[in-house]
Amino acid sequence: MNLPFAAAEVADRLLAWYGLEGRDLPWRHTRDPYRIWLSEIMLQQTTVAAVIPYYERFLERFQTVASLAAASLDEVIALWAGLGYYSRARNLHQAARQVVEGQGGLFPDTLDALTALPGVGRSTAGAILSIAFDKPAPILDGNVRRVLVRLFAWLDDPRGSRAEKQLWAWAEALTSVDRPHDYAQAVMDLGATICTPREPACGRCPLQGLCLAHGQGLAKALPVSRKQQKVPVRKQVALVISAAEGLLLRQRPAEGFLGGLWEFPAADLPDGLAAAQAAGRLRDDLGLHGILEEHSEVRHAYSHFKLELAVFRVAVADVGRVAEGGTYRWCSGDELERLPLHGAHRKVCSKLAGGG
């Protein structure tokens, strides 16, 4: 491949900079592929600062891939609660079981075997191969993608099919053969701390003299922005149902959006229907009787929509056909604190705790 500079010079500059400026992160004190894999899954679409406490709590509870595989999905979800993108937790649990059952508890060290694990794509596999096994393998997470877009002054959509093919080719060409472990972490650190989305610190960048975007005065303009789509708004009602048995919660299906998390009974609010009417229908569908009281409104943004939640309270004397077990559960206040609720319904709990 013809490059505008020598690939070895990129690696040399990055590695020298990393030796002086590399971040001290918990998962950088190990070559254990289990711990490297765990950190990479948690870091998908999440900041380092948010991940560190979750990473440490996970390792306190699940010190090995075997202990993670032996846990229930509910235990894993409970520890994950608040980190978001819950399919990652389900994939984490499923992949741990595959490693234990199919690999005898030993992490695979080939690209094909790693990408066969749930939740492990090419970039995550490349990070594991490079960092844990010191094997040359390209990575292309969000930080590295931005570095390459600027380094080569890529003027097209950074997520288009042309970009995908070209950026992977550049990532592979630049990956250090001699020190892949350090190179992978160096290029990720450069994107996270220097070549940031806004206001890149070009004056402190070890690649400044090679960077085509900097040379052309385009560093702040790249990557080009993708057209923003309007985020849809979903309206729902939720019931805080209280009885002698406690508050009624239900668990979402294990598969799908927010799978395995708990919530107050909720339903979509159809256009043209008053929130109180929808809440009454939901109460009736549960086989319960009681007077509805407006409680609060909650707004919460998820990855692909915004939720507006109208919350009603209702006290019931007869729990009707809602029985303990299945997807429903009566919870005391202490139990409610321990259950993994998703974001919007955790906000409902906060409002309840505030005296509402």
Closest CA to 149 of 137, 124, 166: 166
From CA 283, how far away is CA 280, in angstroms rounded?
5
pLDDT by 10-residue block (mean), the chain, 356 residues: 92 97 96 97 94 97 97 92 89 97 94 97 97 97 97 94 96 97 97 96 97 96 83 94 91 84 94 94 90 94 90 87 69 85 90 72
267 is a domain residue: yes
CATH number where 321 lies:
3.90.79.10
From CA 151, how far away is CA 145, in angstroms rounded?
10
160 is a domain residue: no
Show which of 84, 102, 133 is a domain's final residue.
Answer: 133
Within 10 A of 177 (CB to CB), how many other CB atoms are there? 11
152 is a domain residue: no
308 is an active site residue? no
167 is a domain residue: no
Q: Single out the catalytic residue among 9, 21, 40, 308.
A: 40
Count up the domains in the chain and report the number.
2
From CA 200, how far away is CA 284, in angstroms rounded?
56
239 is a domain residue: yes
**18-60 residue pLDDT tens:** 999 999 999 999 999 999 999 999 999 899 999 999 999 999 9
CATH number where 66 lies:
1.10.340.30
Are 348 and 238 in a shared domain? yes
Q: What per-residue confidence (pLDDT) applies to 335?
A: 84
* 286 token code pair: 């549960």
159 is a domain residue: no
Q: What per-residue confidence (pLDDT) applies to 321?
A: 65
Q: Which domain holds residue 312?
A: 233-353
174 is a domain residue: no
From CA 314, how far away is CA 117, in angstroms rounded?
45
196 is a domain residue: no
Show which of 92, 109, 133 is a domain's final residue.
Answer: 133
Q: What per-residue confidence (pLDDT) applies to 320?
A: 66
Show which of 99, 133, 167 is a domain's final residue.
Answer: 133
